[in-house]
Structure 1
């Protein structure tokens, strides 16, 4: 569940990723990192031109937004590198504007960095994952974070509230060797 604002430390950091349908992405991050320093995960929209977009508008493919997940974490317990290595294990970053059967620009793979240090790490992890895991086929965007829009309330914790709800079949943890 989401941490209360009082439970989130002042030195908390943010990471923003897009990896297809945000329900599964948020669910996998919560499941894997809940006791490892993840304070909260929110689903929403980023990277588009429309102010305050709705799910219906984003799904039209006309707004430029990606379905994304905003991760708020304790950097003393969980690193940005760990979050990005997990990102490259839990979805297919080689398909442009698609995850499994979900197609459209809203399902693209992207890392939206919050600082120059995050950009450096994102480019390094992407390079290594591309060389060691994905055979040079990664198409993930690496862009500066811009305006974040929370998705509607019914999308937050969707798979927790709907345990048999839709989850993209490309969202699962791959058993790659550790990155060097």
Structure 2
């Protein structure tokens, strides 16, 4: 699927076109206040995890980002198996962040604005299947509450011409992907798939959220 996606990207996509499709989502009306405390975790799924990881590793206050799988069982959290679309997993990223520096609501705003298109059902760009669905895997009841509130806010504001299809899944574990998927965007910046599908997302973060941009990517 990813090899086919590279070919499709070369024939049908452009960096400018990808950037123009991004929508700046409004500031969440309800958010967790910035406060000192232990590192927090968020898990988001929005298509191929390479690009989503590439976006969130550049946000101030994010201390680490891992690509992986969420939504299905541990024993099937294997790239070639997840790619069947039959395991219940989504390609996802686990984001560890400092809640004194960046809020959960801010991370959601970036997720909806530049990391993916929340109106694409079971696909993202050239990648298709339920493993590429738009999902927030809430790590606790407060995250679930904030997620519901923000999706309702975006829906009421008609931020996109299409319907938001992002789902909320709670109580689902995250499993790290294979080592070769970690830091993939940084390790392969000249790969056609990365150039046409993922680098525009990173550029969109820097352009639309300069106050959040970190020149040094998280670990």
| Shorter-chain TM-score range | 0.7 to 0.9
RMSD (CA atoms): 2.1
Map 1:69-80; keep pairs closer than 5 Å. 69-80=93-104
- The residue that corresponds to 2:66 in the other structure is 42
Q: Is the 8 A contact 1:66 1:106 kept in 2?
A: yes
2:174 maps to 1:148: yes
2:14 maps to 1:14: no
Q: Which has the higher contact order (CA 8 A, sep 6+)?
A: 2
Q: Is the 8 A contact 1:48 1:63 kept in 2?
A: yes
The CA deviation string for residues 31-54 of structure 1, in whole angstroms up to 9 with x for no partner, is 2x0xx1100000000001352521
- CA change 1:120–1:10 in 2 (3 A) is closer
C-alpha distance in 2 between matches for 1:123 and 1:135:
20
Aligned residue among 107, 110, 131 for 1:86: 110
The alpha-carbon deviation at position 124 of structure 1 amounts to: 1.2
Larger helix proportion of the pair: 2
2:149 maps to 1:124: yes
Task: Could you tell me which runs of 5 or more consecutive residues in structure 2 were left unpaired when the two chains were aligned.
Answer: 1-35, 210-219
- The residue that corresponds to 1:158 in the other structure is 184
Q: Is the 8 A contact 2:76 2:87 kept in 1?
A: no
The CA deviation string for residues 12-67 of structure 1, in whole angstroms up to 9 with x for no partner, is 00000000000000001112x0xx11000000000013525210001111211000
C-alpha distance in 2 between matches for 1:40 and 1:93:
24
Between structure 1 and structure 2, the one with the greater Rg is 2
Task: Report how many aligned residue pairs link the two structures.
Answer: 165
Q: Is the 8 A contact 1:130 1:136 kept in 2?
A: no
- The residue that corresponds to 2:121 in the other structure is 96
- CA change 1:145–1:161 in 2 (3 A) is farther
Q: Is the 8 A contact 2:70 2:175 kept in 1?
A: yes
Q: Is the 8 A contact 1:50 1:63 kept in 2?
A: no
